[in-house]
Amino acid sequence: MAAKRKAKELTVTATHQLTKNMLRLTFKGEDLASFPENAEGAYFKLAFAGDDANKPIMRTYTVSKHRPEASEIDVDFMLHGSANGQIDGIAAPWAIQAAVGDKVSLFGPGLATFINPEADWFLLSADMPALPALTANLSLLPTQALGHVVVEILSEQDKQDLPVPTNMEIHWVINAHAGSDASPLNDAIEQLPWLDGQVSVWAACEFKTMKKIRHYLRNVRAVAKPNLYISSYWKQGLKEEEHKVIKREDAA
């Protein structure tokens, strides 16, 4: 029988409004000593109380910053409102209310999947929930890397300073209706000038948009499988548990 996963108990030590729709929380705890050295970009699960006291609700997030010497991590929460203006989900509302000293349980981290750095040029793309993982991938690129970074955000006020190599161009896509059928992130990628040589791609975003981008890169641009990582981090209108089901179906 597999060993039961052990929760890491963390404490909120700081909250910071990173951009208009992104909130950063800092967590500290002795249990973070077991985190790997290079944990930025790795995923983990936060546990929240549900109706069943014996079965917490899990939500997946990414390590934005890791300071092992201080036993700290930063975690970014996208604050996306529904049609009635309320913040969706369970994790983001909790983060908004979180105060220094609050406790939370963490499980993980899991292994991150990073971009293949062996290429002539690079294409990286993400929407806001995938921004921390995108940032971790950017930090792995060669200093003189060429290519494009395409990021979908909710508003102009959600632009961040990203570690984009000097010779790469960043394209900001403003979409106030994240997860909409319009998929402006895909449109922006299709309009990019395609460079010569072998490309390496890392992309993560909403499920419907991911499928469109994947079709374009596989069937139109014929990106080689070892150089193509693309994943959906969420699907509009679905809870994480429901999203996991359609991801498995899509993979099959």
Q: Which of 52-56, 169-173, 227-231 is least confident?
A: 52-56
Neighbour count for residue 169 (Cβ, 10 Å): 12
Structure confidence at residue 94 (pLDDT): 96
Assign residue 151 the CATH number of its domain: 3.40.50.80
Structure confidence at residue 251 (pLDDT): 87
Assigned domain for 24 exists? yes
Number of domains in the chain: 2
On whether both 56 and 142 belong to a single domain, the answer is no
Assigned domain for 1 exists? no
pLDDT higher than threshold 70 for residue 1: no
Angle 226-229-232 (CA atoms, 0-180°, nearest 5)?
155
On whether both 60 and 18 belong to a single domain, the answer is yes
Structure confidence at residue 3 (pLDDT): 41
What's the pLDDT tens digit per position in 11-38? 999 999 999 999 999 999 999 999 998 8
pLDDT higher than threshold 80 for residue 85: no
What's the pLDDT tens digit per position in 122-169? 999 999 999 999 999 999 999 999 999 999 999 999 999 999 999 999
pTM for the model stands at 0.93
On whether both 140 and 192 belong to a single domain, the answer is yes
Instruction: Decide if 122 contacts 141 (C-beta within 8 A).
Output: yes
On whether both 94 and 143 belong to a single domain, the answer is no
Assigned domain for 89 exists? yes
On whether both 190 and 85 belong to a single domain, the answer is no
Average pLDDT over residues 161-179: 95
On whether both 179 and 217 belong to a single domain, the answer is yes
Assign residue 13 the CATH number of its domain: 2.40.30.10
On whether both 99 and 176 belong to a single domain, the answer is no
Q: Which residue has the higher pLDDT, 6 or 170?
A: 170
Assigned domain for 206 exists? yes
Examine residue 109 and say whether the peptide bond preceding it is cis (omega within 30 degrees of 0).
yes
Assigned domain for 113 exists? no
On whether both 190 and 99 belong to a single domain, the answer is no
Structure confidence at residue 84 (pLDDT): 47
Among 107, 129, 151, residue at a domain's last position? 107
On whether both 103 and 132 belong to a single domain, the answer is no
Among 51, 79, 107, residue at a domain's last position? 107
Q: How many whole angstroms separate alpha carbon 214 and alpha carbon 49?
A: 36
On whether both 98 and 147 belong to a single domain, the answer is no
Assigned domain for 177 exists? yes
Reduced to 3 states (helix: H, G, I; strand: E, B; else coil), residue 184 is helix
On whether both 65 and 128 belong to a single domain, the answer is no
Assigned domain for 3 exists? no
Among 52, 75, 107, residue at a domain's last position? 107
Confidence of residue 225 (pLDDT cuts 50, 70, 90): very high
Domain containing residue 179 = 121-251
Structure confidence at residue 32 (pLDDT): 95
Helices (H), strands (E): how many in the chain? 5, 11
Structure confidence at residue 81 (pLDDT): 59
